[in-house]
A and B are shown apart, each in its own frame.
Chain A
């Protein structure tokens, strides 16, 4: 027994020593050759699906950069942040132990809100690729950058589309078009709804009802649908996550809820699952979000090339088609890796911040169609929403016109009994 113990100790200490040595050697080489970037998304737990898609997107961006000659190589240090506590702990670890100076994250707004306090306190650059809570860029933080639009821009785009395109097709003035809102009661749903109501007031569109519910604890939507039947709106504006959006639409069909148009705001209606589950029954549903398959003509040649390369590489590496959020993460991470870090050659926060603020990319310069021009608050002012529609099981961009790949169909939406 004793002998064995001593033997074990020997093995242990040797491995320890070698790993320490190895740690040292990679440590020195990385500071001279590669740029270390932290990547923190929820890759386990209930947010894992989207967190994994984000991580995959960032990874492809790294591959594209690293496979080019004469580039400073990017090295990713990954962390799993399934909840706010883990986000704070892991970001602390990335900063204090991994000595990371730039972090890409976090996708879910509550995680981003908690973790960004840590990054800002340590003067570490935090590059958000998906979270939409407006407060992320309104707290006066210096090192926060968000290429994607904040939740405050869903509502205005939705209302703009309803007023400009849907109302005429229904033969109504915007002031005659009754809109009801159904939303989940978290930060996401509440934030989007607030901006929607303000935009609707400006456009003179009457909001006849607002129904909110808890997305995680709702196993039945009958009461919500019955209330909607009573309100009898022309247009239904929904802000939902994945599973609740499916339950809602399933029960809307069962209970025969008929409206002339349904428009979602990202998440639930943007998810490929919506098309998978409903097939033809998804057709006609509108969705305001960052666009997935926009018209290639709207992109610059470089962005077109990059988009093609992304789709190819993603399929090769992960064996499936990327979804919207993976492409978003790719596009935004690529801007960081290529347009910021390659120029600065270092992850020094002051230099990164200066370079990011000086970026001036025109609309169409990124694979998702946006330009890049950060305001002092770190919010990209050239991020743009698009309106999409489910058509034959695919989500096609239909608005704005220069992004559109298809014409809108099924407005007004036929009643359930008359659908083919």
Chain B
């Protein structure tokens, strides 16, 4: 029983990380109907940023979280102006090429600037642990989980109760009617994209006490983020939360009770089954998938 509780706790915490890296992706997906294949690489930039802020200036990752969020938000605007904005309304192949090209460029830029070293930070926080009886909970994981929860709630409130948030939702539901109602799609898209990237600044800072960073670290999380987003339903925020936690728990339980090397088989099987039963994902709206790539 103790073991089961420990596995469940670890699975939920891991799920929290998956939620954290997925919310930005699902937001961009849902509103702009484009697939950001460079999502993992922006996460990599966030992690590198937090790493260097700590290593060179001694900034605690939980402080650099705010700095990185702003920096990546700004970067999101720049990339929207330069590249992403120009692909809106173009054929899907254009969008795919643009994002994959961006991904390759970012990875190799990081390779040139930061070299291929694996870098992790060594601070007491990294291995700090809270013990509740027989259950051990890593502090950085717990913090990441709690902040993921706060972010999701804030994002939800922002989308439902502010004017801009409502405009974003309007644009995601029907971009033509929204335009007729005076919503500027291009501004909404730029804002959404920048928020999606900015969230990765937060995620990167929260991950750096746990994982090492290297130019291709994004691949490790991007695949999972796509699974989470599709499983939860394209563009659905609560869907990403449920999807992330579900994958985290399935992963930990199946690697204990079946075998660690079989866990992907298990969660992809679950993934396929869910998509057979609910083709739009757990909380997706019918039709979203057809509009997106």
Fill in one digit per residue for B102-120: 1 if any A CB lies within 8 Å of its CB, else 0: 0000001001000111111
- Inside 8 A of A277's CB, which chain B residues have their CB? 120-122, 212
Task: Give the segment of B88-96, B154-162, B191-199, B253-261 that binds chain A.
Answer: B253-261
Distance of A44 Cα from B216 Cα, bound (Å): 10
* Partner pick for B111 among A44, A212, A216, A222, CB 8 A cutoff: A44
Which listed segment binds A: B3-11, B29-37, B166-174, B272-280? B3-11
- In the complex, whether A78 has a CB less than 8 A from a CB of chain B is no
Q: Which residue of A lies closest to B17 (CB)?
A: A219
B127 touches A254 (CB 8 A): yes
A46 and B117 form a contact (CB under 8 A): no
Complex contact A226–B259 (CB within 8 A): no
Q: Residues of A contacting B6 with CB < 8 Å?
A: 222, 226, 255
- Cβ of A273 within 8 Å of any chain B Cβ, yes or no, is yes
Q: Does A153 contact B (CB under 8 A)?
A: no
Contact A254 B136 (CB under 8 A): yes
Q: How far is the CA of A219 from the CA of B17 in the complex (A)?
A: 10
Complex interface residues of chain A between 206 and 252 (CB less than 8 A to chain B): 211-214, 216-220, 222-224, 226-227, 230, 242-243, 246-247, 250-251
Name the one of A46, A222, A254, A279 contacting B122, with C-beta atoms under 8 angstroms. A279
Interface residues as binary, B209-222 with A (CB distance below 8 Å gives 1, 0 otherwise): 01110111001110
Tell me how far the C-beta of A258 lies from the nearest C-beta in chain B, rounded to whole angstroms: 13
A93 at interface, CB cutoff 8 A: no
What chain B residues lie within 8 Å of A49 (beta carbons)?
115-118, 214
Q: Out of A219, A243, A276, name the residue touching B14 (CB < 8 Å).
A: A219
B255 close to A223 (CB less than 8 A): yes
Measured CA separation A273–B122 after assembly (Å): 11
Contact of B220 among A51, A217, A273 (CB under 8 A): A217
Residues of B within 8 A of A213 (CB): 255, 260-261
State A198–B252 Cα separation when bound (angstroms).
Answer: 31
Within 8 A of B (CB), among A372-389: none
Which residue on A lies nearest to B136, using beta carbons? A255
Q: Identify the 7 closest CB pairs spanning chains A and B, nearest first.
A: A48-B116, A213-B260, A223-B256, A222-B10, A49-B116, A223-B255, A277-B120
Does residue B177 face the partner (Cβ distance < 8 Å to A)? Answer: no
Assess the B219–A223 pair: CB atoms within 8 A.
Answer: no
B129 in contact with A223 (CB, 8 Å)? no
**Interface positions of B from 227 to 261, Cβ below 8 Å from A:** 248, 251-253, 255-256, 259-261
Flag whether A128 is at the interface (Cβ < 8 A): no
Binary CB contact string for chain A from 32 to 56 against chain B (1 if under 8 A, 0 otherwise) = 0000000000001110110110000
Note all chain B residues with C-beta closer than 8 A to A254.
127, 129, 136, 138
Query: In this complex, what residue of B is CB-closest to A256?
Result: B136
Contacts of A46 in B (CB 8 A): 214, 216, 219
- Residues from chain B with Cβ under 8 Å of A75 in the complex: none
Q: Which of A44, A45, A211, A251 contacts B260 (CB 8 A)?
A: A211
- CB neighbours (8 Å) of B122 from chain A are 276-279
Q: How far is the CA of A212 from the CA of B261 in the complex (A)?
A: 6
A243 pairs with B116, CB closer than 8 A: no
- The answer to whether B264 has its CB under 8 Å from any CB of chain A is yes
Pairwise interchain contact A220-B127, C-beta atoms closer than 8 A:
no
A48-B111, A222-B256 provided; 8 other pairs, C-beta below 8 A? Answer: A48-B116, A212-B259, A212-B261, A224-B260, A226-B3, A243-B214, A250-B210, A278-B122
Q: CB distance B251 to A250 under 8 Å?
A: no
A185 on the B face (CB < 8 A): yes
Q: Which of B210, B215, B253, B264 contacts A48 (CB 8 A)?
A: B215
Q: Does the CB pair A253–B260 fall under 8 Å?
A: no
Chain A interface, number of residues (Cβ within 8 angstroms) = 40
Interface string of B1-43 (1 = CB under 8 A from A): 0010011001100100100000000000000000000000000
Q: Are A250 and B127 in contact (CB under 8 A)?
A: yes
Q: CB of A71 within 8 A of chain B?
A: no
B120 and A227 contacting across the interface, CB-CB below 8 Å: no
Complex Cα gap A271–B212 (Å) = 13
Residue from A212, A226, A281 in contact with B256 in the complex, judged by beta carbons closer than 8 Å: A226
Residues of B near A222 (CB, < 8 A) are 6-7, 10-11, 252, 256
* Contact yes or no, B260 A52, CB < 8 A: no
Nearest Cβ in chain B — how far from A353, in angstroms? Answer: 34
CB closest residue in chain A, given B209: A250
- Listed by A's residue number, 15 A-B pairs whose Cβ atoms lie within 8 Å are A44-B108, A44-B111, A44-B116, A49-B116, A49-B117, A214-B260, A219-B211, A220-B251, A226-B6, A230-B3, A250-B127, A253-B127, A254-B127, A277-B121, A278-B122
Q: Please, which residue of chain B has its CB at the minimum distance from the CB of A224?
A: B260
Are B7 and A223 interface neighbours, CB within 8 A? yes
A212 contacts across to B, CB distance below 8 A = 259-261
Q: Which residue of B lies closest to A217 (CB)?
A: B264
CB distance from B214 to the nearest CB of A (A): 7
User: Which A residues are CB-close (under 8 A) to B118?
Assistant: 49, 242-243, 246, 271, 273
B186: A residues at CB distance < 8 A:
none
Contact between A246 and B120 (Cβ–Cβ < 8 Å)?
Answer: yes
In the bound complex, residues from chain A placing their C-beta under 8 Å from that of B119 are 273
Q: For residues 69 through 125 of chain A, which have their beta carbon under 8 Å from a beta carbon of chain B?
A: none
Smallest CB-CB separation from A212: which chain B residue?
B261
Is there contact, CB below 8 Å, between B252 and A214?
Answer: no
Q: Tell me the smallest distance from the CB of A325 to a CB of chain B, in Å.
A: 12
Residues of B within 8 A of A217 (CB): 220, 223, 264
- Across the interface, name the chain A residue whose C-beta is closest to B108: A44
Task: Determine whether B87 belongs to the interface, using a CB cutoff of 8 Å to chain A.
Answer: no
Max chain A Cβ within 10 angstroms of own Cβ: one of B220, B223, B251, B261: B261
Closest to B264 in A: A217
Question: What chain B residues lie within 8 Å of A281 (beta carbons)?
Answer: 127
CB contacts (< 8 Å) of A220 on chain B: these are 10-11, 14, 248, 251-252
Chain A residue with the shortest CB-CB distance to B138: A254
Chain B positions within 8 Å of A185 at CB level: 261
- In Å, the complex CA distance between A243 and B119 comes to 9
Rounded to whole angstroms, the CA-CA distance of A81 and B255 in the bound complex is 33
Closest residue to B252 on the A side, CB-wise?
A223
